Amino acid sequence: MTDSLYIASTGMHTQQESINVISNNLANVNTPAFKKSKISFVDLVYKPVNEQNTAAPFLDSSYELGSGAAISGTSKSFTLGEIKTTDRALDIAINGDGFIEVDLLDGSKAYTRNGSLSINAESLLTTNDGFVLSPSIQIPEDSTDVVIGTDGKVQVSIPDESELIEVGQIDLVKFISAENLKPIGNNLYLPTADSGDAIFGTPGEDGLGIVAQGFLESSNVNLIEEMVNLILAQRAYEINSKVIQASDEMLTLSNNMRR
């Protein structure tokens, strides 16, 4: 019965973590290009019954009992979110596979799918959080219009110039296993050993998506799916708590029989 208390407690812990993951998904349902997280579970080690019940060594050792549940890890689902129009020149959506590379404050690189861009005080293209695109693209101060092509080419319109002037190129990056990227917040991701190294390419080529100006990708969180998962996690948590309550009552009865 003491084993049942421990086993049920592992079930409560895993379901609590599942609720935490679901809560984070729901909290970011309106965050542009947010990718929902998935949690994975694994059953714990199995042992022969007579090893766990020293008071009954005569039990058949072929019967084995598990030790509960644990979390094997979390991963991101990079399914494409809905592409919504914003009619804003500095909004871009990646329609397909790929990430935008940005420079972090410490000089390292990170990757994002959030294409809500701005122009900083140095006239450089940045994310709305202030991270400069890599390679950097400078927009002339006298520009009257910014045009970003489906291939990532950035052009501007300048007074007294009849044609658009190219000022930079937004390349995209893909990974062999994007779901294993490490999220660090602000819709940014870092590569890991499991995700593989960044593979650079031109939008629309080598399996990369195209760039859509005037659009933003929405979160890929499905409200109905997350609410169903939340209910399932709550019910599983309640059931495990009932197991603990039943085990406690059985232990109480056993103790009272000795009196």
The domain locations on the chain are: 2-78+221-257, 83-217
Number of other CB atoms surrounding residue 62 within 10 Å: 8
Q: Rounded CA gap, 158 and 185, in Å?
A: 36
Q: Rounded CA gap, 4 and 180, in Å?
A: 34
Instruction: Summarize the confidence of residues 52-72 as an average pLDDT.
Output: 69
Q: What is the pLDDT of residue 14?
A: 95
Residue 61 banded pLDDT, cuts 50, 70, 90:
low
C-beta of residue 215 within 8 angstroms of C-beta of residue 85:
yes
Model pTM score: 0.83
DSSP code string of 172-218: EEE-TTGGG-EEEETTEEE--TTT---EEE-TTSTT--EEEETEEEP
Residue-wise burial string across 200-232, b where 16 or more C-beta atoms lie within 10 A, e elsewhere: ebbbbeeebbbbbbebbbbbbbeeeebeebbee
Model confidence at 55: pLDDT above 60? no
**Taking the CA of residue 147 as centre, how many other CA atoms within 13 Å lie in the half-sphere pointing to its CB?**
9
Q: What is the pLDDT of residues 7-18, one digit of tens each?
A: 999 999 999 999
**Taking the CA of residue 226 as centre, how many other CA atoms within 13 Å lie in the half-sphere pointing to its CB?**
20
**Taking the CA of residue 225 as centre, how many other CA atoms within 13 Å lie in the half-sphere pointing to its CB?**
8
Q: What is the pLDDT of residues 104-144, one digit of tens each?
A: 999 999 999 999 999 999 999 999 999 999 999 999 988 88
Q: Which among 114, 113, 117 is positioned nearest to 89, based on CA atoms?
A: 117
Q: Rounded CA gap, 100 and 83, in Å?
A: 16
